[in-house]
Amino acid sequence: MTKEEIKQELRRRLRDNYALELEDAGPVELFYSLGELVKAVSNEKWQKTWKNYLTEEQKQVYYFSIEFLPGKLLKSNLLNLGILEEVRQTLADTGIDIEELAAVEKDMALGNGGLGRLASCFMDSIASCGLPGNGNGIRYDYGLFKQRFMDGYQVELPDEWLKRGNVWEIRREGKACDVHLFGNVYMKRLANGKLQPVGENQTTVRAVPYDTGMIGYQNGIVNTMRLWSVEIPASEEAKYQNLTQRRTIEDLTAVLYPDDSQERGRLVRLAQEYFFVSAGIQSIIRYYKKLNLPWHSFSEKIAIHINDTHPAMCVPELMRVLMDENGLNWEFAWDITVKALSYTNHTIMAEALEKWPIHLMKQVVPRIYQIIEEIDRRYVLSMQGIHPEDLIQRTRLLQNDQVYMAHLAIIGSHSTNGVAKIHSDLLKAVVLHDFYTIYPERFNNKTNGITERRWMQLANEPLSKVMDKWIGTSWRKNPKNLKLLLNFQDNEEVLKQLRQAKLVKKAELADYIWETTGIEVATDAIFDVQIKRLHAYKRQLMNLLHILRLYFQIKDHPEIDLTPRVFIFGAKAAPSYSYAKSIIKVINETAHMINTDSTLQGKIKVIFLPNYNVSLAEKIIPAADVSEQISLASKEASGTSNMKLMLNGAITVATLDGANVEIKDAVGNENIYIFGLTEKEVYNYYENQDYSSQKIYEEDKELQRILDAFIDGTIPNVEFEGREIYDSLLKFNDEYFLLRDFRDYVQAQERIDLDYKNWALWQKKSLANIANAGAFSADETVKAYAEDIWQIEPIFAHTEK
Ligand code: 26M
């Protein structure tokens, strides 16, 4: 599209929709008109892509995820359509800043954190690699809560992201389907003697899909992310005469559950899981039937991936549809199901592993529960005589009156993968070891990745331009080419320009900090960043302990030569996670104490930015000098902010956990600050039961002073929270070994302080991080899934044949 065409199209839409001239339109009208224009451009490609998949009958993957976290889509869509610069200029010609209208768009925040964001990076990469793939999820009316701080406490407000409508989605009523919940099932004998399950007293709800185009990077491909919304079916209207009854139905897709890493068996959550699983499976079956192929070809055309266990009811639901609705026998249906399905595990934290009480399953999804019981029965039967009885009992689906969803996912699929090498190894060796002995061939690793289109091209234009200048633009299509930057390690001009680009983004973030918090930060300070959900195992508290150490150091020795540092936090706590909320309160109070103490001469500042989300991440990450990845070794499955920060030239201070291990291997020891217990040492403590945080405390005067600050009034206004934290570290023996890792962490921080003083040395490390970040491209990750697990091919490969 030329600039002239863009302008014309925009003018037309502003006139038709708002009766406005381009010159008189405000950011809201401009955003919606531009959004419609973008949709029109992409819809043509979307239609073509879909036609192509249909005629080629290519194998497709369906990525089932109860969370998607795309953030804003305007600039991403423009970039991927290849018209970002033209649009930007057209608007600029009329005196409009594209950033101003892009800011109108609400973040699509239908996810909690890592897991949902990974799903969205994958959607971008699958389309960009020309792979036939679809997302399947839930269209929540309210996304993840908005976070405010009041008196330093987290307050949650509803996220009304749909208030002004959503330009990107298409409601497809014609593709709606019914989902049956509750009631009971009995077996009816048919004339041919077969038993047919019949439901009675069921609640039938309508699942209406809203499709959003997932636009590939300048390749003409547009895939589909399909999100389901609940409605009352017209035929059932009469049954819902009072509002309360209607509400219970409408509640089904009203809100995203805001807990991550904490499983609590809620009825509505279970109903949500079945709702999007059933609707998704039904629409896959409907598509497959259009192909007119025999059932045994199913897995040659369809791959179904389940993102964590939340969609694990895909196993019994696919069985149900194949058997009850299409007359297949158990063995045949089971063979198809296992071949089609694959599963990714995202955590080893026991409290996050899903287990549903049997009574709840019987109540909410009675037919699904029957099938689960039968899977369990057949599993136990088939393993007897092959494996020891205790192993069979430990791996079966039904235990302690609960359904173990991970067991269902592993037994009912052909592939189980972890999300980083160390995580996948731990699954095999410890967490899922029993299953590994039974199905060794099912286990594999797929290290997470990120899309550098969003996290570099869009979020960091200054850096992108420096890259273009020195290594050319090929990295934009092929992120592995970031490696070319290594040729310039000793080029002072390049190092200077990289530093300059970082400074631009630091200044932008400093402005944002000033606007949102009223605190001034210096851009020559180290910007030290920890951005992730608030969780004890991620150890934001250890970061705070280090900050308190610096605080006391400066108080004792005001003349001390510290490199100025700004500690930046972004983190939401699950509303029910009171310990995490206490940590937020204590960080906020410490921040206030430090930021208002002029005797510190601005040497350290602590900024806790509220409402961390994708858009805020895009502001913080390009401005970061230091990336905090300090989880207790073995606990963080992968992490992905570590990759985004590395890509933007931040240097990582890290434990050997998750993908940090592979980041270390990629950049080399001299370009990362590794500290702390290894995963083996952590497990040794578990085995020997010989950890004593009290002992460490008693032998370390400085640590005593730091911990005492939580209860002696040094940190103001934290009587309750300070005591809670103090007790967790001492009375309850410091579950995540903060005190054990503290000294080593401090040493790593001291090396950072020193190294930063030598800008060229620092910038060289930074360069090495940018150059090696291509290894963590989600493009590479999804290609590995496509080859090893899904057996799907890029559309180009297919049409060329
Ligand atoms: C559970 C119950 C009720 C409501 C929500 C949940 C729930 C939601 C999300 C539980 C876990 C959830 O996500 C876990 C998660 O985000 N895991 C992260 O996945 C990333 C992508 O693989 C990894 O990089 C992180 O290390 C891992 O913590």
- Percentage of the residues of the chain whose pLDDT score is greater than 90: 95
User: What pLDDT does 239 receive?
Assistant: 85
Quote the ligand 1 centre to 473 CA distance (angstroms).
35
Task: Indicate the average pLDDT of the chain.
Answer: 96
Task: Provide the ipTM.
Answer: 0.95
pLDDT bucket at 241, cuts 50 / 70 / 90: confident
- What CATH number does the domain containing 655 carry? 3.40.50.2000
User: Tens digits of per-residue pLDDT, 181-210?
Assistant: 999 999 999 898 888 999 999 999 999 999
Non-local (6+) Cβ contacts of 85 within 8 A are none
User: Tens digits of per-residue pLDDT, 282-333?
Assistant: 999 999 999 999 999 999 999 999 999 999 999 999 999 999 999 999 999 9
- Residue in 7, 407, 502, 644 annotated catalytic: 644
Structure tokens at 720: 């309750």
- Asked whether the predicted pLDDT for residue 265 surpasses 70, the reply is no
Quote the ligand 1 centre to 66 CA distance (angstroms).
11
Task: Please indicate, yes or no, if residue 173 is contained in any of the structural domains.
Answer: no
- Asked whether the predicted pLDDT for residue 49 surpasses 60, the reply is yes
User: What pLDDT does 798 receive?
Assistant: 57
Look at strands 565-570 and 526-531 and give their pairing. Answer: parallel
Q: Average the pLDDT over 253-279 and give the result.
A: 90
Task: Please indicate, yes or no, if residue 617 is contained in any of the structural domains.
Answer: yes
Q: Average the pLDDT over 43-54 and give the result.
A: 96
User: What pLDDT does 457 receive?
Assistant: 98
DSSP letters of 98-144?
A: HHHHHTTSPPEEES-SHHHHHHHHHHHHHHHTT--EEEEEE--SB-S
Task: Please indicate, yes or no, if residue 645 is contained in any of the structural domains.
Answer: yes
11 noted as active-site residue: no
Give which of 180, 211, 357 is closest to 277, Cα–Cα: 180
Tell the residue nearest (CA) to atom 10 of ligand 1: 260
Cα 649 to chain centroid, rounded: 21
92/474 Cα distance (integer angstroms)? 27
User: What pLDDT does 800 receive?
Assistant: 44
Indicate the number of domains in the chain.
1
Task: Please indicate, yes or no, if residue 468 is contained in any of the structural domains.
Answer: yes
Quote the ligand 1 centre to 530 CA distance (angstroms).
18
70/109 Cα distance (integer angstroms)? 7
Burial code of 299-309, b = ≥16 C-beta within 10 A, e = fewer? bebbbbbbbbb
In DSSP terms, 62 is beta-bridged to: 134, 304
699/50 Cα distance (integer angstroms)? 67
Tell the residue nearest (CA) to atom 1 of ligand 1: 263
Tell the residue nearest (CA) to atom 7 of ligand 1: 260
Least confident of 189-203, 663-677, 761-775: 189-203
pLDDT bucket at 797, cuts 50 / 70 / 90: low
- Asked whether the predicted pLDDT for residue 111 surpasses 70, the reply is yes
Quote the ligand 1 centre to 260 CA distance (angstroms).
5
pLDDT bucket at 240, cuts 50 / 70 / 90: confident
Task: Please indicate, yes or no, if residue 692 is contained in any of the structural domains.
Answer: no
- Asked whether the predicted pLDDT for residue 144 surpasses 60, the reply is yes
User: What pLDDT does 237 receive?
Assistant: 85
Task: Please indicate, yes or no, if residue 186 is contained in any of the structural domains.
Answer: no
Burial code of 218-232, b = ≥16 C-beta within 10 A, e = fewer? ebbbbbbbbbbbbbb
Cα 25 to chain centroid, rounded: 36
Tell the residue nearest (CA) to atom 9 of ligand 1: 260
179/196 Cα distance (integer angstroms)? 18
User: What pLDDT does 243 receive?
Assistant: 82
User: What pLDDT does 261 receive?
Assistant: 66
- Residue in 453, 454, 505, 533 annotated catalytic: 533
Q: Average the pLDDT over 74-90 and give the result.
A: 97
Please report the atom of ligand 1 found closest to the CA of residue 116. Answer: 16
DSSP letters of 588-652?
A: HHHHHHHHT-GGGTTSEEEEE-SS--HHHHHHHGGG-SEEEE-PPTTS-S--SHHHHHHHTTPEE
Q: First-to-last CA distance in the chain?
A: 31
Quote the ligand 1 centre to 176 CA distance (angstroms).
29
- Asked whether the predicted pLDDT for residue 262 surpasses 80, the reply is no
User: Tens digits of per-residue pLDDT, 646-657?
Assistant: 999 999 999 999
Please name the residue ranges forming H helices in 166-266. 243-250
pTM: 0.97
Quote the ligand 1 centre to 243 CA distance (angstroms).
34
538 noted as active-site residue: yes
Mutational pocket test of ligand 1: of 120, 121, 122, 260, the residue with most ligand atoms within 8 Å of the beta carbon? 260
Instruction: Please give all residues whose beta carbon lies within 6 A of any atom in ligand 1, as ranges.
Output: 112-115, 118, 257, 259-261, 263, 269, 346-347, 352, 419, 448, 636-640, 658
Phi, psi of 88 (to 5 degrees): -55, -45
Give which of 168, 171, 158, 164 is closest to 72, Cα–Cα: 168
Task: Please indicate, yes or no, if residue 596 is contained in any of the structural domains.
Answer: yes
- Strand ranges in 477-542 using DSSP code E only, listed in sequence order: 526-531
Quote the ligand 1 centre to 116 CA distance (angstroms).
8
Cα 148 to chain centroid, rounded: 21
Count of beta carbons in the 10 Å neighbourhood of residue 377? 13
- Residue in 59, 269, 532, 765 annotated catalytic: 532
Task: Please indicate, yes or no, if residue 32 is contained in any of the structural domains.
Answer: no
448/425 Cα distance (integer angstroms)? 15
- Asked whether the predicted pLDDT for residue 684 surpasses 70, the reply is yes
Q: What is the dihedral of CA 76, 79, 82, 83, to 10 degrees?
A: 90
CB distance 115 to 42 below 8 Å: no
User: Tens digits of per-residue pLDDT, 559-587?
Assistant: 999 999 999 999 999 999 999 999 999 99
Provide the CB-side half-sphere exposure for 605 (13 A, CA). Answer: 22
Which structural domain range is residue 620 located in?
Answer: 459-677+740-776
User: What pLDDT does 365 receive?
Assistant: 98
Handedness of CA 723, 729, 735, 739 (dihedral sign): positive
- Percentage of the residues of the chain whose pLDDT score is greater than 70: 99
User: What pLDDT does 801 receive?
Assistant: 39
Please report the atom of ligand 1 found closest to the CA of residue 118. Answer: 21
pLDDT bucket at 763, cuts 50 / 70 / 90: very high
- Residue in 416, 447, 640, 652 annotated catalytic: 640
Q: What angle do CA 789, 350, 303 make, to 5 degrees?
A: 15
